[in-house]
Structures are given as C-alpha cells and as structure tokens.
C-alpha cells in the first residue's frame, strides 16, 4: 500500500505507468485483427490441433496471435531472436565487441543492426508460414487460405508485408515502452501475452469445481501450491552469490584513514535466465512438429519417442537445459575480463592473488553456482508436466512461461521502486539551498 501511495504522489511515474498500459492495450487489440485472406475459424482449429508442437510454444509467447493468425502473428520473437543472436555474436566478432565497448554510441549501432536482422527474420518467417498455410487444410478439411490473391497482390506477398509490418510495429511499441514507459518493453509484451491466459485458466478451475469434477478443498490446495511455487521461483530469481571484493587503501585523512573500501561481485544463481529452457524446448519440439507434416518413417518414430509426456523427452530436456545454461554463461560472462578490471581499479578478492588466480577463482565459483541454477531450472521446467500428466493437476503454465512471468514482474517492480526512491531524493533536495564556499588567498 505504501508503494501504491508513492506512485499516486509521483506524477512522472504515474504517467510512465499509464503510457505503458496504453501501449500494451494497443498490442492486445492488434492480436485480434486477422491477417487478410485467411479463414480465421479454420486457422484457429488448425493451430489448436498443433498446440503440442513448436507452434504451441510460439503461440504462447505471442499471446494467442499465431492461433488467430492476426497481424501480430509473428509477435516479438523475431526481435528477441535477433537480440540473442547479436548478444552471442558480440563475444565472437571483434567489430561488435569493439562497438559494445564504445558506450552509448556503440549500443545504438548494435541496436540498428538488430532492427535490420529483425526485419530479415520476419520476412523469412512470413514467407515460410504463408507458403505453409497455402498447402495445409484444417482438421475438418477446410482450406486455410480463402483465395490465392488478396486484392491485386498474391496471398504470400500480402502476408509477408502484413506480418513484417506487424513485427516492426511491435518492436517500435517495445522501444517506446522502454524509453517512455516503465520496464523493458519487449519483455512486457511477452509477459502480457502469457498473462492473457490466466483468466481462461482460472475459469477452467472454477468450472471444474462448479461441475463437481474437482473438490473445493483440492482447488484451494492447488492455489496454495501454485503460490508456493511462485514464491520459490521468486526466491531463486533474486538469489545471488556475492564474491567479496576489497580495494587498495588510498591516502585518507581522519578516522577512516585505515579502512579500505569493500564491495562484492554479485553472481546470480540463475545467471542464464530463461534462455536455456526456450532453446531446449524449441529444439525438442521441432522434430515433433515436422513429423506431423512429413510421412518419413524415421521422423515419425522420432516423434513417438519424443512424446512430451515420456521419460526420454524429459531426460533430453534436462540435458539441453544444462548444456545451454553453461554455454550461454560461457559466452556472456568473461572471468578474465572481470579479473583485469579488478586489477586495473585496484580491487582484489581477499585471499586470492590478482591476475590468473582471480579469474580461475571466479570461474570456479561461477561453475558451482551454475550447477545449482541448472537444478533449479530443470525442476521448474519439468515439474509442471509431471504434475499434469502423472497426477492430473491442471497446472496451466509451463516452466518457461512461469520463469518469464516472474522475471519480468521482478524487473518491472525494481524499476518502479527505483523511480520512487529517486522521487524521494528529489523531494528531499528540492527545498535545500546550496551555498558555495569562496576561498580567499
């Protein structure tokens, strides 16, 4: 309640929150605008039948835009993919690494390249999905595409233009939210798409209780369990290993002459975030999705063996999560660079020699923390499937969706809190009069 009171008193923060909500509302309106030339009901039934494949994963991130094949069917995922690609390339290409070190100007240049890559990915994906829809019927035999031409343009050309423009508009919305709103715009757009399924899940549980298919006490226990899981995810997302850092003493006057500045190097338990589950689930769902449209025997056998409810799928899922967690951390975090920066600014880890010993110590701590983070990620990602398939518990969110919801909510809450603290400091200094001291010689 104190936070809400602070927001009501902070006019700048209030404007940012209202602007963010308005932009997200525009996005949700666009999700329900269909792409020209398709049969909406036939497309909906088709994608609902493919909900267990990779289409289901993309539809979750797009907030149902793909299943309705709206103008935002591609969602923000091309931009996210391009951002991840350039984040990884920054450590592999010297030119991009140099741009990253140039500060704000270099960051703008990398963002410009990311936008170009987003348009290229949207064009490729738009062409692929338009060609795919023209050759696929719905489950009841109806064609998904009403006519091969839309106006004076072929269906494929119109679809590519529409979907690419929709992705660019969503990318612009995300950048506007980041600059003029509150929170990370791209993350909030994905958050909104996933959170849009919450009312439907709550309605399903209510209908199960009202029809007598689930006891009221069981429903209460289910809600309590979900709250406990969310609390555990929040705890692990904010958990970190703090490596103590001390800095060399500098000549000082007064009682603090013998004290050395102390700090710490924070290493998050879940350092890689939600990247490993997304990559792992995409790789495992791709063969199952392709097997639905290709009649090759070995692909069909792969689909049967990679059943999401099976043991082999969960084993491979866990193995891929562990691999991508260590791979992503190795690409993004460089212990040698951290060690060099500490040595440059006079910092050191107590009991560890500067230089190579420091980098080896940080790498060892990072590896140990990554093991705990992998256990946490694997538990969160595998647990919902086990609860749903083995015990029949209607857990409506997968582990990846839950990680995104909690991570984005925490990041946005922290930014709101920082704005509130800034407002308090500005109010404290508003009436203060600062007088300069004139020194006469």
pLDDT of 361-401, one tens digit each?
999 999 999 999 999 998 888 877 777 666 556 555 677 88
Mean pLDDT value of segment 291-297: 62
Q: Tell me which DSSP letter residue 438 carries.
A: P
pTM of the model: 0.79
Question: Which H or E run contains 323?
Answer: helix 311-332
Does the domain formed by 1-197 have CATH 1.10.540.10? no
What pLDDT does 27 receive? 92
Kindly report the backbone phi and psi dihedral angles of residue 174, in degrees, each rounded to the nearest multiple of 5, phi listed first: -60, -40
What pLDDT does 394 receive? 57
- Return left, alpha or beta for 58; rule: phi > 0 is left, psi -120 to 50 is alpha, else beta: alpha
- In angstroms, the CA 36 to CA 43 distance is 12
Mean pLDDT value of segment 273-301: 72
Evaluate if residue 164 carries a pLDDT over 90: yes
Q: Do the Cβ atoms of 348 and 246 come closer than 8 Å?
A: yes
pLDDT band at 285 (very low <50, low <70, confident <90, very high): confident
The token pair at 257 is 């002459």
Percent of the chain clearing pLDDT 90 (strictly above): 12
**235-246: pLDDT as tens digits:** 998 888 888 888
Cα distances from 426 to residues 111, 181, 415, 432, in angstroms, run 32, 20, 17, 10
**Hey, where are the domains in the chain?**
1-197
Evaluate if residue 262 carries a pLDDT over 90: no
């Amino acid at each position: 309640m104190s936070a809400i009171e602070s927001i009501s008193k902070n006019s700048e923060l209030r404007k940012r929150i209202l602007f963010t909500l308005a932009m997200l509302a525009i996005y949700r309106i666009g999700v329900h605008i269909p792409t020209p030339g398709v049969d909406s009901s036939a497309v909906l039934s088709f994608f609902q039948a493919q909900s267990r494949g990779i289409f289901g994963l993309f539809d979750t991130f797009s907030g149902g835009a793909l299943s309705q094949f709206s103008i935002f069917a591609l969602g923000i995922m091309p931009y996210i993919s391009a951002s991840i690609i350039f984040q990884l390339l920054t450590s592999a290409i010297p030119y991009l690494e140099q741009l990253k070190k140039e500060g704000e100007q270099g960051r703008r240049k990398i963002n410009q390249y990311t936008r170009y890559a987003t348009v290229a990915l949207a064009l490729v994906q738009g062409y692929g999905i338009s060609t795919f829809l023209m050759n696929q019927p719905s489950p009841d035999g109806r064609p998904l595409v009403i006519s091969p031409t839309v106006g004076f343009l072929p269906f494929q050309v119109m679809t590519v233009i529409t979907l690419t423009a929709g992705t660019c508009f969503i990318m612009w919305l995300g950048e506007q939210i980041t600059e003029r709103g509150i929170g990370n715009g791209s993350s909030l757009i994905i958050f909104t798409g996933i959170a849009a399924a919450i009312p439907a899940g709550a309605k399903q549980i209510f209908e199960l209780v009202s029809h007598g298919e689930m006891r009221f006490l069981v429903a209460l226990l289910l809600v309590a369990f979900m709250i406990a899981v969310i609390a555990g995810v929040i705890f692990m997302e904010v958990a970190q290993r703090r490596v103590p850092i001390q800095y060399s003493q500098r000549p000082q006057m007064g009682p603090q002459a013998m004290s050395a500045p102390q700090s710490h190097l924070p290493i998050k338990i879940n350092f890689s975030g939600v990247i490993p589950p997304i990559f792992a689930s995409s790789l495992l769902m791709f063969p199952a999705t392709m097997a639905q449209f290709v009649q090759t025997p070995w692909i069909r056998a792969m689909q049967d063996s990679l059943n999401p409810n099976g043991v082999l799928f969960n084993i491979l899922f866990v193995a891929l999560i562990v691999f991508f967690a260590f791979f992503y951390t190795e690409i993004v975090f460089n212990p040698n660079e951290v060690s060099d920066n500490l040595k440059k600014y006079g910092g050191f880890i107590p009991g560890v020699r500067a230089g190579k010993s420091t980098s080896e110590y940080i790498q060892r701590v990072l590896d140990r923390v990554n093991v705990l983070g992998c256990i946490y990620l694997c538990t969160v990602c595998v647990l919902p499937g086990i609860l749903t398939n083995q015990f029949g518990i209607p857990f409506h969110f997968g582990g990846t969706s839950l990680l995104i919801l909690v991570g984005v909510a925490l990041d946005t809450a922290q930014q709101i809190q920082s704005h509130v603290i800034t407002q308090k400091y500005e109010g404290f200094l508003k009436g203060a009069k600062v007088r300069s001291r004139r020194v006469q010689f």
